Amino acid sequence: MNHCFEVDGVEYQLWLSRCREDYRLCLHDRVIAPVAFSHRGDGCGVVIIAGESQPVRFAIDGDTVHVHINGETRSLHYRDPLRTLARSKQETSQAVARAPMPGVVIVTRVSPGQAVSVGTPLMTIESMKLETIIRSPQDGIVDRIHFKQGESFEQDAVLVTLLEERT
């Protein structure tokens, strides 16, 4: 089964397949690397990716997994595949950047009418004392920014609406 995770405003479809005693991490239809994980308790463990082991710390908060590895902390937001599919059907003419968690807008980095590419930082938000950059999910033109600096929002709120860029 495919799993969809959102990191910094970009969604990734991943899946794990069994390989002997471990797993292979796959992104879309491509095998990325063999992976293994050993849990040591108290939110600590060791992840082995392509034979290289790294200590990892993690905390799970509902559908969000906060991972600290190699000196960086990332928040992975699990997206239910059926819900993601239903939402993509509704948003075929417009792309939206949604809030991965409740929070406050710190900085808006784009303005309406501005052309953006996939991965362009749209805004920085703060939630639970963590700053997260919301990135463009696709190429397009900024149509609407739904929240101003300092305004708060709930999880899954539409932060920025993009229009498909016409050539």
Nearest residue to 78 via CA among 100, 56, 104, 97? 100
Three-class SS of the chain: CCEEEEECCEEEEEEEEEECCEEEEEECCEEEEEEEEEEEECCEEEEEECCEEEEEEEEEECCEEEEEECCEEEEEEEECHHHHHHHHHHCCCEEEEECCCCEEEEEECCCCCCEECCCCEEEEEEECCEEEEEECCCCEEEEEECCCCCCEECCCCEEEEEECCCC
What does the pLDDT profile of the chain (167 residues) look like in tens digits?
567 777 776 777 777 777 777 777 777 667 777 888 888 888 899 988 888 899 999 888 888 888 898 888 888 888 776 666 666 555 555 688 988 888 999 999 999 999 999 899 999 999 888 899 999 988 999 999 999 999 999 888 899 999 886 55
